[in-house]
């Protein structure tokens, strides 16, 4: 009897030890926390990011680093006031291994703070907040998208090259709008232009009429605007309805016309924007991505889908190096940092601050496409001001 008990105990111990070894080697499912906007003005952007992320995982047979993936989703509503609670639900309640999010810069800064404090890996698949790869940079924080400075600076260079001397800016008043204007101003003024007035309205307000009247009266050579999602649709339509598109070109980072052309229709035709993605790149990688995305989701991909796809590629690169083990933090971070990501946008590398170093395309709206016109600035790296890492 006592021998049987001893045997049973030994078997239980052996099984427990096997389970512990397997867990240490990361054999269970990976918990990915997707914190994205699934409601509000940026809802379509959140859905595209989720689709892109899942597409890459599916292409790897549903596994990264040899481990299956389990998703936990939070709708962040693009609301910075709820961001800390939302991200802590993922970190403390759900014990996720990695957080992927988000779209809105104000929400992303709260997420970066929580990620830095807890050491949880964070991959940002859109929000351009300069600070997260600037003063808040950290070994466990990466971005698969852009900094707000990057496409804005490129558009400033292009506007000056187009011979524009004066510009008015019109943006939402929050980090993304402010930083986008700063980037545009830097590129424009370095090349001989002058930003003569900066107009703002609170996020996600879309009452543009009074501001458009002010622009019509001031008659600048160009207008530069950061808007995205539902706000971008409304601005481009209102701008055309006011007749301003005939005399004063409306420029912006590509968010002004990406994923929005079905709704903007005629009103967006001919618009020039700058972004790290474009239609008509016609590379084998982009063609394959677009075909797979269209087949999987019955939708055309946009820049947000690409950023989601690349966030999964970055996580995959890290986990391949550690064989799925999140415990090897330094190895995981080093592998993502030195990966060359084979993106549909074109291959990119990571800066020391963990932001993509990438080409900024000049695009022109033709029909339902943001057709590539050329490269506005090649291999543009964010200056990462304030990053000490
Ligand atoms: C941002 O808040 O950083 C952002 C939102 C939508 C599109 C691009 C940037």
Residue 295 burial (CB < 10 Å; 0-12/13-18/19+)? exposed
Q: How far apart are CA 387 and CA 219, in angstroms?
A: 39
| Token pair 């903007």 in the structure block, residue | 264
| C-alpha to C-alpha distance for 27 and 381, rounded to whole angstroms | 37
pLDDT at residue number 79: 98
Please state whether beta strands 272-275 and 250-253 pair in parallel, antiparallel, or not at all (unpaired): parallel
Strand spans (E) along the chain:
30-36, 63-64, 67-75, 98-100, 121-124, 141-143, 166-172, 194-201, 222-226, 250-253, 272-275, 349-350, 356-366, 369-380
Q: How far apart are CA 345 and CA 134, in angstroms?
A: 24
Question: Could you identify the residue written with the tokens 């929050």?
Answer: 174
Which pLDDT does position 389 carry in this prediction?
A: 87
Pocket test for ligand 1, best of 77, 148, 181, 232 (most atoms within 8 A of CB): 148
Whether residue 67 has its Cβ less than 6 Å from ligand 1: no
**The pLDDT of residue 17:** 44
β-pairing, 349-350 vs 272-275, is unpaired
What pLDDT is stored for residue 353 in this prediction? 98
* Cα–Cα distance for residue pair 277/363, rounded to 1 Å: 9
Question: What's the distance, Cα to Cα, between the start and end of the chain in Å?
Answer: 62
Q: Which residue ranges in the chain fall short of pLDDT 50?
A: 1-26
Characterise 85 by phi-psi region: left (phi > 0), alpha (psi -120 to 50), beta (else): alpha
Q: How far apart are CA 299 and CA 259, in angstroms?
A: 10
Q: Where are the beta strands (DSSP E) in 158-288?
A: 166-172, 194-201, 222-226, 250-253, 272-275
Look at the block and give the residue holding tokens 């993304």. 176
Superfamily for 149-275?
A: Response regulator (3.40.50.2300)
Alpha-carbon gap, residue 294 to 289, rounded angstroms: 8
The residue with tokens 């601005």 is 235
- Report which ligand 1 atom has the smallest distance to the Cα of 174: 2
Which residues does residue 141 pair with via DSSP β-bridges, in sequence order? Answer: 122
Fold of 28-146+281-350: Rossmann fold (3.40.50)
Strands 98-100 and 30-36: parallel
Residue pLDDT, tens place only, 296-309: 999 999 999 999 99
Counting from 1 in the atom list of ligand 1, the atom nearest the Cα of 127 is 3
Residue keyed to tokens 């006031």: 81
Ligand 1 pocket residue status of 228, Cβ below 6 Å: yes
Say what the pTM is: 0.93
Q: Residue 236 belongs to what H/E stretch?
A: helix 229-241
CA-nearest residue, atom 7 of ligand 1: 228
Domain boundaries, the chain: 28-146+281-350, 149-275
* Ligand 1 pocket residue status of 315, Cβ below 6 Å: no
The whole-number pLDDT of residue 25 equals 46
Mutate to test the pocket of ligand 1, among 83, 101, 105 (most ligand atoms within 8 A of CB): 105
Q: What is the pLDDT of residue 9?
A: 46
308: tokens are 């989601």
How far apart are the C-alpha atoms of 350 and 103, rounded to whole Å?
19
Residue 15: what pLDDT? 43
Ligand 1 geometric centre to CA of 332 (Å): 27
Phi then psi for residue 343, to 5 deg, are -85, 150
The whole-number pLDDT of residue 27 equals 62
Rounded Cα–Cα distance for residues 224 and 100 (Å): 30
Token pair, residue 339, equals 């990966």
Ramachandran quadrant class, 173 (left: phi over 0; alpha: psi -120 to 50; beta: rest): beta
Tokens 């991909």, located at residue = 301
């Amino acid at each position: 009897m006592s021998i049987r008990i001893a045997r049973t105990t030994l078997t239980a111990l052996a099984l427990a030890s096997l389970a512990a070894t397997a867990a240490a080697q990361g054999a269970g499912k990976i918990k990915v926390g997707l914190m994205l906007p699934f409601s509000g003005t940026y809802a379509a952007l959140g859905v595209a990011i989720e689709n892109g992320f899942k597409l890459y995982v599916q292409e790897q047979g549903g596994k990264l680093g040899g481990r299956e993936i389990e998703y936990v989703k939070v709708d962040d509503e693009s609301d910075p006031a709820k961001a800390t609670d939302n991200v802590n639900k993922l970190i403390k309640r759900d014990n996720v291994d990695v957080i992927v999010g988000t779209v809105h810069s104000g929400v992303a800064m709260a997420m970066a703070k929580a990620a830095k404090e807890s050491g949880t890996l964070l991959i940002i698949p859109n929000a351009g907040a300069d600070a997260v790869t600037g003063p808040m940079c950290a070994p466990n924080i990466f971005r698969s998208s852009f900094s707000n400075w990057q496409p804005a600076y490129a558009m400033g260079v292009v506007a000056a090259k187009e011979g524009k001397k004066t510009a008015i800016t019109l943006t939402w008043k929050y980090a993304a709008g402010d930083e986008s204007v700063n980037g545009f101003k830097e590129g424009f003024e370095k090349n001989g232009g002058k930003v003569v007035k900066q107009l703002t309205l609170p996020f996600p307000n879309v009452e543009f009429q009074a501001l458009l009247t002010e622009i019509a009266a001031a008659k600048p050579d160009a207008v530069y605007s950061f808007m995205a999602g539902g706000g971008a649709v409304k601005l481009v339509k209102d701008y055309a309805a006011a007749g301003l598109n005939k005399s004063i070109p409306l420029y912006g980072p590509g968010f002004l016309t990406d994923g929005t052309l079905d709704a903007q229709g005629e009103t967006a035709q001919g618009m020039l924007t700058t972004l790290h993605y474009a239609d008509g790149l016609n590379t084998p990688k982009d063609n394959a991505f677009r075909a797979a995305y269209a087949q999987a989701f019955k939708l055309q991909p946009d820049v947000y889908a690409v950023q989601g796809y690349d966030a999964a590629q970055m996580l995959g690169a890290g986990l391949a190096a550690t064989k799925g083990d999140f415990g090897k933090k330094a190895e995981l971070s080093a592998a993502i940092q030195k990966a060359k990501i084979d993106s549909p946008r074109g291959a990119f590398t990571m800066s020391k601050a963990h932001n993509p170093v990438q080409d900024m395309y000049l695009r022109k709206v033709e029909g339902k496409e943001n057709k590539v016109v050329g490269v506005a600035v090649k291999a543009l790296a964010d200056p990462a001001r304030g990053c000490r890492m």
